[in-house]
Structure 1
Amino acid sequence: MLFMMLVLTVALFVLLGTGVWVAFALLGLGWLGISQFTSIPVGDMMASDIWSASYSWELTALPMFIWMGEILFRSRLAEDMFTGLSPWMQRIPGRLLHTNVIGCGLFAAVSGSSAATCATMGKMTIPELKRRGYDDKLVLGTLAGSATLGLLIPPSIILIVFAVATDQSIARLFVAGIFPGLMLIALFATYLMIWSWRYPDKVPPADPVIPFREKLYRSRRLIPMMALIIGVIGSIYAGFASPTEAAAIGVVLSLVLAACNGALSWNTFMEAALGAVKTSCMIAFILAGASFLTAAMGFTRMPSELASLIATMDLSPFMLLAVLTLFFIVLGCFLDGISVVVLTTSIMLPMVEAAGIDLIWFGIYLVIVVEMSQITPPVGFNLFVLQGMTGKNILHIAKAALPFFFLMLLGVILISLFPQIVTYLPEAMGNR
């Protein structure tokens, strides 16, 4: 087994290091494993497995949620959020920096994408916060860290990918991500308060007080977005709609919102549709390659033997999670989040199940760790987005995001110590 692991690991790094697409790298790795270490006809198996992976009903939710995010990305939703949130942030320590945290959390609940959340919110908040004199590093850090919530707060594209790859319930994973997402928002907001108390001279003075009635009037801008969140997530949690049906509801509501904002035209409609097609095809292709690799690894018996080897080491669940966290963080420095999930699923799940770890909980844990990799160089997608928007050095942005990396690590520790943060809502949902 050691020789096979060495060969496949070297092959993977060679394929990825030479710039081969992730989907082709996964297919090539599966082909190598089957052809060199088993006697199974590789062509027939590849054809049947890719076909079986391509018509999963659960996958239909994926392009719909991506399309919804593309439509909202081209609307004025972020501008409305800033207008609605900013009056309420003036008296909180940290003031308008909280609009990055809460705004990203709200936009994440309707976009499902970390990069889209970062780009959309950044276009609005970076110029405004800099104009008001807020600390540059903290503006970038809050945006980079908070935008990762797009991976966790439902509807999350990466949670759909994990559900399909592991045969778990999309609806249960969605509701499992709600409390951890709120926990991370609370951690980020608390950090901003502590920072502002420590460095009061770096926080600009508050704007003049406005009447309560005016605050409520400006908050009307938040109503469409809240309606969209309730329409999508509420319909799933209440049992009125499946994730796929909720995704269709989200697309219709987002089109209505864009039309009401005056942002819907034939060009924006086509741009959103083509963007959704490109992203969906990329993810579906990766999932097909991952499905073949998973089947190939099953026939080589490497995952089960690796799980048995780790079982003989008698690691406690906490030690196993500590090792896996380090492994995922390192892997996330070189791969995007979806690739990390599909690449490691076939190897990790047997040992996770052998350790008695709940797979719904593990999915949320994995997404938070992948979130951490979104703000670590050299392949931190949020860092790339912010670099393109600001022209800043990527290491400067990574340094600004470092406190939020450790806050997410604290989040991993908290859900490990108190797993009910993740499991309460799925269990409540299952008992209904």
Structure 2
Amino acid sequence: MSEITIPLCLLGLLFLLLGSGIWVAFSLLGVGIIGMMVFTDAPVGNVLATTVWGASNSWALAALPLFIWMGEILFRSKLSENMFEGLAPWLTHLPGRLLHVNIFGCGIFAAVSGSSAATAATIGKMSIPELTQRGYPEKMILGTLAGSATLGLLIPPSIILIVYGVATEQSIARLFIAGLLPGVLLVTLFVGYVIIWSLLNKEQIPMEENNLSFMEKVRGTKRLIPVILLIGGVLGSIYTGIASPTDAAAVGVVLALLLSRATGSLCKETFIEGLLGATRTSCMIAFILAGAAFLTVAMGFTGIPKSLATWIGTMDLSPYALLGALTIFFVVLGCFLDGISVVVLTTSVIMPMVQAAGIDPLWFGIFVVIVVEMSQITPPVGFNLFVIQGLTGINILRVAHAALPFFLLLLTALAIITVVPEVVTLLPNMMGS
């Protein structure tokens, strides 16, 4: 067979299995087993056993269930309600007024949950009824929420950055640091868009009464102190070198439990629900990672990554052309798979090409996350769209239409970090390796 025929056959088989409704992990394992049995003489059983064990026995991966559990605890606390009441008084004089609560609320919650879906659900439960009741336009309520919730994938601690770091053997702490400035860039783009839109559509933004004095606003801001302490405790322990990302995740769980207890939302039922929710999500991700690790090894035995890299090398694509092609590839793939599956599915094949093109793997990790963010608000399987549809009952195409400007803003951010890679690499290089 030619260099491209074998990978196309296996890719077709993978999409066939995924389309039939088989779990992603089983699909990955199945393609790896068939690929090794048909195209190699390697002992499939031995390779499967050692690879799955090796993929599961990773200390860096221990941060994953802890950060997920932290998000589950906060999801069931009064954090979002306190954030709204703490942020709202300061935003009524800004063009767009309380629409910015979605953006800043998602940005803050992203820094303590690490999950796009949890960010959309938590902030949406609080903001959608409140903003709808006050008369804000539906399109902007849904758009700001769908777009800003994607920050959960980028602003550290990010679950998908942990997965990328484990899959590509990159420093998770450096990836976290690299995500900071791009996260700030996205928040700035979102806020700027809302301000411009609001100035052009003043009649659609309701008036807000704000008779609070400066000191009353400051007193209301006290509601933000617990979440700021939580963010500071988690990220500060990583960046100061006191704790590794895994240790910091444990710190985050303890602080989240204390915060939930202080707000009166921690009881036996919520504790068990959070623990079970985190267990289910963590097992799903770990299972997918194990399947992807085996597929990676299987692909190595078949020689597909090297063949693909050679084939693409014959096309003489410039680094920019390669990134453009990969952007389209990731967005299309993200239309059918969740972000974590996209990362673990593609790293084994994509990374040799990326490194051969001289692209920094650390920078590429942030690039991938932003592209995956774009896929989270792209139908038919944009996960954030489903979360918001579940919250509101609004047709998913209407939600997708509302999110379109934010998709374009994410594309703008992608262009900016491509032209100015220092947006990603500046902080990691300042902190050292």
Q: Which of 396, 399, 407 matches 2:398?
A: 396
Which residue among 361, 364, 368 is the counterpart of 1:362? 364
Task: Provide the secondary structure at the position in 2 that maps to 1:329.
Answer: helix
Q: Select which of 163, 166, 169 maps to 1:167.
A: 169
SS in 2 for 1:93: coil
Query: What is the deviation of 1:208?
Result: 2.8
2:228 counterpart (204, 226, 229): 226
Q: Deviations over 1:43-64 (max 9, x none)?
A: 1111111111111110110110
In 2, the alpha carbon distance for the partners of 1:88 and 1:148 equals: 24
Tell me which residue corresponds to 1:412.
Answer: 414
* Superimposed CA distance per residue, residues 265-313 of structure 1 (whole angstroms, 9 cap, x where no aligned partner): 0111111111111110000000000000000111111111111221222
Return the offset for 1:206: 2.6
Instruction: Give 1:184's match in structure 2, choosing from 186, 189, 211.
Output: 186
Moved over 2 A (4+): none
1:9, distance to aligned residue in structure 2 (A): 1.5
The Cα shift of 1:98 comes to 0.3
Counterpart secondary structure, 1:414: helix
How is 1:150-299 mapped onto 2 (pairs within 5 angstroms)? Answer: 150-299=152-301
Q: 1:90 is matched with which residue?
A: 92
Q: What's the CA shift for 1:421?
A: 0.6
Q: C-alpha distance in 2, partners of 1:51/1:131?
A: 52
Structure 2 CA distance, aligned partners of 1:430 and 1:241? 16
Hey, what does 1:13 align to over in structure 2?
15
Note the C-alpha offset of 1:2: 2.5
Q: Which amino acid aligns with 2:372?
A: V
What residue identity is the alignment partner of 1:387? Q
User: TM-score, length-normalised on structure 1?
Assistant: 0.99
Match for 1:45 among 44, 47, 71?
47
* 2:320 aligned partner: 318
Cα contact 2:4–2:308 (8 A) shared by 1: no
Aligned to 2:151: 149
CA distance in 1, matches of 2:292, 2:245: 22
Work out which of the residue numbers 61, 67, 87 in structure 1 matches 2:63. 61
Alignment partners' CA distance in 2, 1:11 and 1:49: 21
1:30 to 2:32 alignment: yes
Superposed, 1:320-335 pairs within 5 Å as 320-335=322-337
2:147·2:406 contact (CA, 8 Å) conserved in 1?
yes
The structure 1 residue matched to 2:106, chosen from 104, 107, 110, is 104
> 1:146, CA displacement in angstroms?
0.3
CA contact (8 A) 2:111 2:231 kept: yes
Tell me the distance in 2 between the aligned counterparts of 1:304 and 1:51: 25
The one-character-per-residue Cα deviations of 1:37-87 (angstroms, maximum 9, x if unpaired) are: 111011111111111111111011011000000000000000000000001
Q: Which amino acid aligns with 1:320?
A: L
TM-score (norm 2): 0.99
State the one-letter code of the partner of 2:414. Answer: V
Secondary structure of 1:204's aligned partner: coil
- In 2, distance between residues paired with 1:6 and 1:117? 36
Q: Deviations over 1:148-183 (max 9, x none)?
A: 100000000010000111011110001110110010
1:287 aligned counterpart, secondary structure = helix
1:205 to partner: Cα distance: 1.1
For residues 368 and 279 of structure 2, the distance between their equivalents in structure 1, rounded to whole angstroms, comes to: 26
Alpha-carbon contact 2:238-2:244 (below 8 Å) kept: yes
- Residue 95 of structure 1, CA deviation: 0.5
Residues 4 and 311 of structure 2 are in contact (CA less than 8 Å); yes or no, is this contact kept in structure 1? no
Tell me which of 302, 305, 308 is aligned to 1:303. 305
Selected match of 2:352 from 350, 353, 365: 350
Structure 1 CA distance, aligned partners of 2:351 and 2:107? 29
Give the equivalent residue in structure 1 for 2:432. 430
Deviation per residue, 1:310-333 (Å, 9 max, x gap)? 122221111110000011001111
Farther off after superposition, 414-423 or 309-318? 309-318
Mapped to 2, the partners of 1:405 and 1:220 lie a distance apart of 34
Q: Which amino acid aligns with 1:379?
A: V
Whole-angstrom distance in 2 between the partners of 1:87 and 1:308: 58
2-structure distance, mates of 1:279, 1:6: 31
Structure 1 unpaired stretches of 5+: none
Q: Distance in 2 between matches of 1:60 and 1:78?
A: 27
Distance apart, 1:250 and its partner CA: 0.2
Distance 1:313 1:113 in 2: 37
CA distance in 1, matches of 2:410, 2:292: 27
Q: Once structures 1 and 2 are overlaid, which stretch shifts more, 299-308 or 188-197?
A: 299-308
| Unpaired stretches in structure 2, ≥5 consecutive residues | none
Counterpart position of 1:71: 73
After TM superposition, the structure 1 stretch with the greater mean CA deviation from structure 2, 199-208 or 258-267, is 199-208
Q: Residue 122 of structure 2 corresponds to which residue in structure 1?
A: 120
Cα offset, 1:96, TM superposition = 0.4
- Give, in angstroms, the shift of residue 209 of structure 1: 3.3
- Superposed CA deviations along residues 167-202 of structure 1, whole A, max 9, x for unmatched, are 111100011101100100000000000000110000
Letter in 2 for 1:238: T
Q: Counterparts of 2:237 and 2:8 in 1: how far apart (Å)?
A: 47
Q: Aligned pairs, how many?
A: 431
Quick one: distance in 1 between partners of 2:243 and 2:70? Answer: 17
- Partner amino acid, structure 1, of 2:174: R
Instruction: Give the drift of 1:3.
Output: 2.4
Within 2, Cα distance between the matches of 1:337 and 1:75? 26
